[in-house]
Amino acid sequence: MIHPIEYRYGRKEVKEIFDEEKRLEYMLKVECALVKAHYKAGNINDEGIVKEVEKKANLNFVRICRVKEIENEINHDVMAVVKGLSEVCEGDASKFIHLGITSNDVIDTANALQFADFVKFLESDLLNLRKTLVEQAERNKQLVCIGRTHGQHAIPTTYGMKFAIYAMEIQRHIERLNEYKKRLLVGKISGAVGTYATLGNKGIKIEKEVVQQLNLTPAEISNQVVQRDRYAEFFIHLALIAKTLEKIAVEIRNLQRTEIDEIAEHFEKGKQVGSSTMPQKRNPITGERICGIVRIIVGNAIASLDNIPLWHERDLTNSSAERIIIPEICILSDYILNLAIKLIKNLEFRSENIDRNLNLTNGMIMSECLMINLTKKGLGRQEAHELVRECAMRVYESRSKGDVNKGNINFRDVLLSDKKIRKFLTEDEIRQALNPKNYIGLAVKKVEEICEILRKQ
């Protein structure tokens, strides 16, 4: 084994969609559907031929080892499948296998079958992740924490808001998936450059019959390949999903920093080891693994863009890339989605540290609230802003001298001693304005609204 997908990353049931035998099975389904379509179009008169191909076009008769053996002899993978099926079919059945089509008719239609099976897992993953995020949003809608902008303390928010925002982002990914599925799950049975020349006047009818048997739709028009903008859209969507997961993982990793320590990945007591040399370590390895794998997914999505411009009616530059891109990006996307679900579901919240960080600046995060309260008492907005800013800057200046660590000056003391502010606000009003839990606006209502919307989806 060489690739970590083989032994480390990915779920068994998803990896099976992309293994060699399953790939052969998809291709055999296309070849079988073609023979049936020829029969329905009147190109085959003997129903026994159809029954023979139906019987033999599966892994019980066409073995992967034999197909590989043929490919080693002829150096053509699709023709190896054709020969492998033909040699097990009795009578005249082999005459009609692969009749009137080219390799990419099989390859691209098989790709669509592969994508259709994978998309079922993708949709389920997204729905499960959305559900997990909604549950965390609802559970933590009133858990007040410090909001941060530019890495600095801003004003209070809630953990419910964080998770509701993520949940709505996942909902958009679900909507995108439902929109482009119709563009992705298409097949083609139109011959060498897409003109149906070998299929004649019945070509379009045969194509429709094949793809309908396979629960796909026909590409409206193609050359020798299904146009790769369809695939790129799919892969870019997977990259978008991956970036959302990275966004969530980065936030969790930051909030798990020793200096912040508000939330943390679940750590198995008595079992899990954080470091080979530092026994105290509890590292955010799941979030880090997500972030690392995202880089591969995004790289594959970028590579898929280069598969769009092919020479003339087609060349082979997309083929080798797709043999790597398709399984990697799909398997890894499913893998990190499930990692994220587990990570978010089992998060540990440190309420004492959340409160500690909320009050770390001794009320300076409530400067906006004070400014607004001053305007309500009649002071102009710009004047109120400057007045509160000057008070905050005095606290910052004292920090540089080390006075704040001695407890000699804090924001509340500065406000209470400021004559201009005391003309407008009483001591009790200042105290109320400095309470961060009084300044979360409509956060709870907004989270409840989002959770209600998503539960109905």
Q: Tens digit of pLDDT for each residue in 364-383?
A: 999 999 999 999 999 999 99
Global confidence as pTM = 0.94
Number of Cα atoms under 13 Å in the Cβ half of residue 37:
26
Is the predicted pLDDT of residue 278 greater than 90, yes or no? no
In degrees, to the nearest 5, what angle opens at C-alpha 208 toward C-alphas 204 and 210?
A: 115
Stretch 316-321: mean pLDDT: 94
How far is 295 from 267, CA to CA, in rounded Å? 25
- DSSP character at residue 350: -
> Distance from CA of residue 153 to its chain's centroid?
29
| Start and end residues for every CATH 1.10.40.30 domain found in the chain | 364-433
Stretch 48-63: mean pLDDT: 97
- Percentage of the chain with pLDDT > 70? 97
How many other CB atoms sit within 10 Å of the CB of residue 221? 9
pLDDT band at 276 (very low <50, low <70, confident <90, very high): low
Stretch 297-303: mean pLDDT: 97
Give residue 323's pLDDT.
96
Q: Which amino acids are annotated catalytic?
A: 150, 275
> Which of 140-144, 183-187, 341-345, 376-380 shows the lowest mean pLDDT across its residues?
376-380
Stretch 353-370: mean pLDDT: 94
Amino acid at position 90, single letter? E
- DSSP character at residue 190: -
pLDDT band at 169 (very low <50, low <70, confident <90, very high): very high
How far is 351 from 206, CA to CA, in rounded Å? 65
Q: CATH: 3.30.450.20, 3.20.19.10, 1.20.200.10, 3.40.50.10800. Which one for 115-192+220-360?
A: 1.20.200.10
Stretch 345-374: mean pLDDT: 95
| CA neighbor of 298 nearest in space, from 336, 258, 350, 259 | 336
Stretch 226-234: mean pLDDT: 98
| Start and end residues for every CATH 1.20.200.10 domain found in the chain | 115-192+220-360
CB 377 within 8 A of CB 423: no
Give residue 402's pLDDT.
55
Stretch 141-154: mean pLDDT: 97
Give residue 404's pLDDT.
44
Q: Are strands 144-149 and 152-158 parallel, antiparallel or unpaired?
A: antiparallel
How far is 115 from 333, CA to CA, in rounded Å? 13
Fold category of 364-433 in CATH: Ribonucleotide Reductase Protein R1; domain 1 (1.10.40)
How far is 227 from 304, CA to CA, in rounded Å? 12
154 backbone dihedrals φ, ψ, rounded to 5°: -110, -100
Percentages of the chain per state (helix, strand, coil), in multiples of 5: 65, 5, 30
Per-position DSSP letters for 204-238, written without gaps between them: HHHHHHHHHHTT-EE-SS-SSS--THHHHHHHHHH
How many other CB atoms sit within 10 Å of the CB of residue 239? 20
- Percentage of the chain with pLDDT > 90? 90
Average pLDDT, the chain: 94
**For 383-430, what is each residue's pLDDT tens digit?**
999 999 999 998 888 776 654 445 457 899 999 999 999 999 999 999
Long-range contacts of 417-424 (CB under 8 A, 24+ apart): 418/387, 418/391, 420/387, 421/370, 421/374, 421/387, 421/388, 421/391, 424/373, 424/374, 424/377, 424/378, 424/379
